[in-house]
Amino acid sequence: MSMSNPLLWPKARVIWGYGIALLSVYTALLISRWPPVRLETAPVSLFLGAIMLSAWFGGLGPGLLATALSSLAFDYYFLPPIYSLVAKPGEIPRLVIFTVSALFVGSLSAAQRSATESLRRARDDLRGTVKELQKTNEALHAESLERKHAEEALRHAQGDLARVSRITTLGELTASLAHEVNQPIAAAVTNANTCLRWLTREHPDLEEAREAASRIVKDATRAAEIVGRTRLLFKKGTAQRELVSLNEMVREMIVLLRGEATRHKILIATDLATGLPQVMGDRVLLQQVLMNLMLNGIEAMKDVDGKRELLIKSQQTENEEVIVSVSDTGVGLPAQQADQIFKAFFTTKPQGTGMGLSISRSIVEAHGGRLWADGNSPRGASFCFTLSTKSEEHG
Ligand code: ADP
């Protein structure tokens, strides 16, 4: 409660209310009895006015006080016999009517005042609530912005993770293969040079040349074995085989790559067959294939104008196969080089490895399937792979 306005203190307000009642009735009496005004004949309106004023400012108590004082004054000063509180029996109805009217006007004024008060309080409450709502709204807005930023960061992180995972796998495979194959090839070159030297001498030493040549055969066989072993990595027995639901895998990959797609304003759509049979395979390697195809599709659409949609379809064929296709509306297969894209190290990208499609094809073939590419009409490319469902459970 503010100390600077004593009228707002509850006790002071009460005293002030009764004071107004006394003052207003006294003023009404003075005016009605002031000779130059000559209002002795119509004091009722003045008293009613005083009662209304008292009830309005002070409420019911001061209103009643003003009513009582006005009735006494009216009786004493205006009803015959004048200057007596005992009115003539014939004047009593006038006194009663005055008192009843005074009570009615007073209570009406007090009720109106209290209604106005409650309205004001309700309005203040409403204002408070609106302010609180505004604050809550602002807080919610800030929180939603924060969440949006966090989601954006998460999407970036997922995209980076997908790219890093692909590059790491391809990089590791390529590096280890290159390193292991390089040694026997280097030895074969040295031995071939030695062989040539023995043969080109003035008196060729055929025995030494034969030994060098057989070392070359050994080196080349070792290189072939390394390549064969690497291919075996994807073959049955060495890889982890389990029942894999391709639809589920598609959905997982979409979650992982959605951020990357959104960043390039690409829509990912699916058309997945229901009740698709599961396939037996290496989940991680098959994920790698799908991720490669999807990332290639996204990369192919990054800079094209118009519709950008990556559509992933799954369906069952009549000869117990599942076929998955990844279609994009990107730049399309490189002209005149479409047959090269599955070759290792073939790439048209400045940062490309050229290994994605060749490894993906090896993985699919190691699972007994096929992977191929087609042009897309009117724009883009489609990559499809099949996997056998023979004697596997449905899922
Ligand atoms: P990289 O992506 O590192 O170039 P890949 O083996 O995955 O290696 O792809 C080889 C090449 O095939 C790419 O450089 C590109 O020219 C072509 N290619 C692959 N996917 C697509 C596609 N969705 N649309 C158009 N061209 C593609």
Residue 127 lies in a domain: no
Number of independent structural domains in the chain: 2
pLDDT at 226: 76
For residues 184 and 321, membership in a common domain is answered with no
For residues 219 and 273, membership in a common domain is answered with no
Strands 267-272 and 309-316: parallel
pLDDT digits over 182-236, tens only? 888 988 999 999 999 999 998 899 999 999 999 999 889 888 887 776 666 655 4
Phi-psi region of 314 (alpha: psi -120 to 50; beta: other; left: phi over 0): beta
Residue 150 lies in a domain: no
For residues 188 and 308, membership in a common domain is answered with no
Whole-number Å distance, alpha carbon 293 to ligand 1 midpoint, is 9
**Which domain range does residue 14 map to?**
2-116+177-230
For residues 260 and 181, membership in a common domain is answered with no
Ligand 1, residues at Cβ distance < 6 Å: 292, 296-297, 300, 328, 330-334, 341, 346-349, 352-358, 381
For residues 304 and 365, membership in a common domain is answered with yes
Q: Which atom of ligand 1 is nearest to the CA of 381?
A: 24
For residues 285 and 221, membership in a common domain is answered with no
For residues 356 and 222, membership in a common domain is answered with no
pLDDT at 366: 82
Whole-number Å distance, alpha carbon 348 to ligand 1 midpoint, is 7
Residues 6+ apart with CB under 8 A from 271: 311, 312, 313, 314
The CATH number of residue 310's host domain is 3.30.565.10
What is the pTM for the complete model shown? 0.53
For residues 24 and 93, membership in a common domain is answered with yes
Residues 6+ apart with CB under 8 A from 81: 87, 88
Residues 6+ apart with CB under 8 A from 303: 331
pLDDT at 392: 45
Q: Which atom of ligand 1 is nearest to the CA of 341?
A: 12
Residue 122 lies in a domain: no
pLDDT higher than 80, residue 75: yes
Alpha helix segments (H runs only) across the chain: 10-33, 43-58, 60-73, 92-200, 206-232, 246-263, 283-301, 356-366
pLDDT higher than 50, residue 356: yes
Domain final position from 230, 254, 271: 230
- Cα–Cα dist 170/165, whole Å: 9
Residue 138 lies in a domain: no
- Cα–Cα dist 37/46, whole Å: 13
- Cα–Cα dist 342/345, whole Å: 9
Q: Between 164 and 291, whose confidence is greater?
A: 291
Residue 324 lies in a domain: yes
Confidence of residue 81 (pLDDT cuts 50, 70, 90): confident
For residues 295 and 203, membership in a common domain is answered with no
pLDDT average, residue stretch 57-71: 92
Domain final position from 230, 254, 274: 230
For residues 224 and 248, membership in a common domain is answered with no
- Cα–Cα dist 168/29, whole Å: 104
Among the residue ranges 55-69, 225-239, 255-269, the one predicted with the least confidence is 225-239
Phi-psi region of 305 (alpha: psi -120 to 50; beta: other; left: phi over 0): beta
The mean pLDDT value of the chain amounts to: 86
Whole-number Å distance, alpha carbon 233 to ligand 1 midpoint, is 23
Q: Between 10 and 106, whose confidence is greater?
A: 106
If you take atom 12 of ligand 1, which residue's CA is the nearest one?
341
Percentage with pLDDT > 70 across the chain = 88
Residue 365 lies in a domain: yes
Domain final position from 230, 260, 293: 230
pLDDT at 1: 42
Residue of 311, 331, 347 to mutate, ligand 1, most atoms within 8 A of C-beta? 347
- Cα–Cα dist 221/191, whole Å: 14
Confidence of residue 3 (pLDDT cuts 50, 70, 90): very low
Residue 208 lies in a domain: yes
Residue 167 lies in a domain: no
pLDDT digits over 129-183, tens only? 999 999 999 999 999 999 999 888 887 777 777 766 666 666 666 766 777 788 8
For residues 218 and 249, membership in a common domain is answered with no
For residues 224 and 246, membership in a common domain is answered with no
pLDDT higher than 90, residue 94: no
pLDDT average, residue stretch 52-64: 92
